[in-house]
Amino acid sequence: MPSPAPQTLAVFDLDGTLTWRDTLIPFLAAYAAKNPRRLWRLWRLPAAAVGFVSGRYDRGALKGRLIQLIMGGETRARLDAWARHWVGTMDERGLFRPAALAAVAAHRQAGDRLVLLSASPDLYVPLIGQLLGFERTVCTEVAWAGDRLDGALASENRRGQEKRRCLEELRSQYPGLPVAAYGNSASDLDHLTLVDRPLLVNANSAARRQAASLAVPCGEWL
The residues of the chain scoring below 50 in pLDDT are 1, 3, 43
The pairing of strands 197-201 and 148-153 is unpaired
User: What pTM does this model have?
Assistant: 0.91
User: What pLDDT score does 5 carry?
Assistant: 60
Show the domains of the chain with their CATH numbers: 9-219 (3.40.50.1000)
Q: Are 131 and 90 in contact (CB under 8 A)?
A: yes
User: What pLDDT score does 43 carry?
Assistant: 43
| Displacement of CA 60 from its chain's centroid (Å) | 13
